[in-house]
Chains A and B, each alone.
Chain A
Amino acid sequence: MSSELFVSKELVRSLNAKAWLLSLAAVGLVALLSGVLALASLLIQPRSGEIRLIAMLRANISEEEINELHRRLLAEPEVLRSRYVLAPASIRSSGHFEISVKAEANLDGVMARLRSWGAFQEISSPASDSIIEELRAALLAPKLRWLVLAALAALLGSTLLVIYAALAKARQGFVGELELLVLSGASPRTMQFPFVLLGALYGLAGALLVELILYGAQIWMDAALISPEALAHLGIRGFLLGLILAGLGGGLGRLVAQRYPSPLSRSRMSSSSAGVGEH
């Protein structure tokens, strides 16, 4: 394994500017595709059986009143869960309740009843949730479904094409070294492993990138109180999809390094005897 890792290191060392550019494009496309696929996979799964409400408490409410409100909320037949979220110290507010209501409940009726308690200054459903619902409806609409599938297929095709191009460019800059290895009797594994590893690294780097971006986005949305329930664990999904693409990248790497160049079989004489089988 040490010689395979050594040759892998030398392959990366021999990448030229064009090969690096294609490699970065491959990583970016893997991240984009993983993120888009993760979002699509979340949207097409069945809607959860609950709707989320945010109930902002009026100012100067006491701790006893908050406990009493929590008990009353849980006693409501339509309410599934209720969670009190304390406001940051910098904001002069008593905080808010995150309330999960059964999907089949009359939302307007529930909101009107809660308002009548007089403890809340505002009750609303997060705007982001409605955007997600619109996206879900658009994605599942019969007219758009095929368009969305075609766009996803085009994105997948472009990603694989760019990974292949990046690997082919890397091979092009390493062809002299590969010939040297062939003539020295190095094993096919020594020659293929670096390309398999490089292809897999494109996928892995893309997976880490999408995880990082989506994790950052989730933190920002949580802080801004617009975190859509439907998008929970999006980063993990993106990462896992990126790992699948890493496997595909590794497969493409093996494909690129399948045929070894041989300076002896390339010469003028043996090119005229191309029918003589290579061993």
Chain B
Amino acid sequence: MPVIVQISELAVRDPEGQKLFDDVHFRLHRGEWAGLIGPSRSGKTLLLALICGMTRPEHGQILVDDRNVLRLSPEKLRQLRRRMGILPECASPLGHRTLEEYVIFKLRSLEYPKEEARLKALEALELVSLEDRLQLHPQELDPAEYRLFQLALAISHDPVLLLLDDPLRDLPPGRGERFLNVLERVHRHRRVSLLMTARGAGWAEHLPVNLYVLENKQIRALHSPQPADRKIGGEAP
């Protein structure tokens, strides 16, 4: 199965010289949904930042969609980033516009024509079940709906790779389930590759997710996917 993200021999140190990653290898296949779990401050967010080229390692190779992230010019890197959808853990709050206007804002900033931006915004918000919230402002949403709105923003430009940074964090008990159901639908409909970080593994129990754990500065596969989901599965080297 073709690979969309391939990380080899990755090594990163902090400013004090402490190793954060040491000889990390990881592969994400096209269409795969991978869950990367690890405790707080284990480097989950850093790994996402490395994949989308916002941070550079001191050693190693990162291939995304067959392109070496570390050798791309800033312009090519931006073009590659347009093929990704990113849902950050802690983004600055949005508030001036309605949900529909925000998604249109993003698409028009990426030079989509006005009418196409509007149609794609409606499509994205409908896919995440926010079609009845179009005219609300983000601050009027509950935390679970806000996460869905962020997901709509991330998928609105049809990315091939979705990076989600601990999207279940701070969600009230039971509300994470709604988000995961929507995410499963997005995964199924768009056939997008998904890399999602989380602290625990419980959420993945009934989902077609391959789990990886980030510990001792390395990534290892936690368990293989359920037999029914093997067709979209992947494995750590």
Tally of contact residues, A, Cβ under 8 A: 38
Min C-beta distance of A278 to chain B, whole Å: 6
A81 to B80, CA, bound (A): 73
Q: Are B56 and A277 in contact (CB under 8 A)?
A: yes
- B residues near A265, Cβ cutoff 8 Å: 49, 54-55
- Within 8 Å of chain A (Cβ to Cβ): is B96? yes
Q: A7-B109, A190-B109, A267-B89 are in contact. Are A272 and B55 (CB under 8 A)?
A: no
Min C-beta distance of A130 to chain B, whole Å: 56
- Within 8 Å of chain A (Cβ to Cβ): is B81? yes
Min C-beta distance of A218 to chain B, whole Å: 43
Q: A250-279: contact bitstring with B at CB < 8 Å (1 yes, 0 no)? A: 000000000001111111111011111111
- A residues near B91, Cβ cutoff 8 Å: 176, 179-180, 263
- Within 8 Å of chain A (Cβ to Cβ): is B119? no
Q: Are A269 and B44 in contact (CB under 8 A)?
A: yes
A166 to B107, CA, bound (A): 27
- Within 8 Å of chain B (Cβ to Cβ): is A177? yes
Min C-beta distance of A194 to chain B, whole Å: 10
Q: Are A270 and B92 in contact (CB under 8 A)?
A: no
Q: A10-B105, A185-B81, A269-B44 are in contact. Are A262 and B54 (CB under 8 A)?
A: yes
- A residues near B48, Cβ cutoff 8 Å: 264
Q: A183-B88, A185-B81 are in contact. Are A273 and B108 (CB under 8 A)?
A: no
Q: A10-B105, A268-B45, A270-B46 are in contact. Are A183 and B86 (CB under 8 A)?
A: yes
Q: A183-B88, A184-B106, A184-B109 are in contact. Are A273 and B15 (CB under 8 A)?
A: yes
B interface residue count range (under 10 / 10 to 19 / 20 to 34 / 35 or more): 35 or more
Choose among A7, A270, A278 the residue with the greatest number of B CB atoms under 10 Å from its CB.
Answer: A270
A6 to B14, CA, bound (A): 39
A139 to B147, CA, bound (A): 64
A176 to B95, CA, bound (A): 9
Q: Are B46 and A3 in contact (CB under 8 A)?
A: no
**Residue from the list B15, B55, B109 in contact with A279, Cβ < 8 A:** B55
- Within 8 Å of chain A (Cβ to Cβ): is B53? yes
Min C-beta distance of A186 to chain B, whole Å: 5
Min C-beta distance of B59 to chain A, whole Å: 12
A183 to B48, CA, bound (A): 12
Q: Are B92 and A187 in contact (CB under 8 A)?
A: no
- Within 8 Å of chain B (Cβ to Cβ): is A13? yes
A227 to B67, CA, bound (A): 71
Q: Are B81 and A184 in contact (CB under 8 A)?
A: yes
Q: Are B110 and A186 in contact (CB under 8 A)?
A: yes
Q: Is the interface of A mostly helix, strand, loop or mixed?
A: helix
- Within 8 Å of chain A (Cβ to Cβ): is B129? no
Choose among A183, A262, A274, A275 the residue with the greatest number of B CB atoms under 10 Å from its CB.
Answer: A183
- Within 8 Å of chain B (Cβ to Cβ): is A212? no
A148 to B113, CA, bound (A): 54
Choose among B12, B54, B90 the residue with the greatest number of A CB atoms under 10 Å from its CB.
Answer: B54
**Residue from the list B45, B58, B79 in contact with A270, Cβ < 8 A:** B45
Q: Are A273 and B109 in contact (CB under 8 A)?
A: no
Which B146-171 residues sit within 8 Å CB-CB of chain A? Answer: 153-154, 157, 165
- Within 8 Å of chain B (Cβ to Cβ): is A181? yes
Which B49-98 residues sit within 8 Å CB-CB of chain A? Answer: 49, 52-58, 74-75, 77-82, 84, 86, 88-96
Stretch of B35-43, B187-195, B202-210, B219-227 at the chain-chain interface: B35-43
Whose C-beta in chain A lies nearest to the C-beta of B113?
A2
A186 to B110, CA, bound (A): 6
- B residues near A13, Cβ cutoff 8 Å: 96
- A residues near B81, Cβ cutoff 8 Å: 183-185
A13 to B14, CA, bound (A): 40
Whose C-beta in chain A lies nearest to the C-beta of B86?
A183
A263 to B150, CA, bound (A): 13
A279 to B54, CA, bound (A): 5
Whose C-beta in chain B lies nearest to the C-beta of A262?
B54
Q: Are B157 and A177 in contact (CB under 8 A)?
A: no
- B residues near A6, Cβ cutoff 8 Å: 108-109
- B residues near A266, Cβ cutoff 8 Å: 90
A274 to B92, CA, bound (A): 19
- Within 8 Å of chain B (Cβ to Cβ): is A149? no
A173 to B44, CA, bound (A): 29
Write the residues of chain A forming the contact surface with B, with a CB cutoff of 8 angstroms: 2-3, 6-7, 10, 13-14, 173, 175-177, 179-181, 183-187, 190, 261-270, 272-279
Besides A3-B108, A190-B109, A275-B13, 6 new A-B residue pairs in contact (Cβ under 8 A), listed by A number: A180-B94, A185-B82, A267-B88, A267-B165, A272-B20, A277-B56
Sorted nearest first, the 6 A-B pairs with minimum C-beta distance are A275-B15, A185-B81, A263-B88, A185-B82, A176-B92, A267-B45
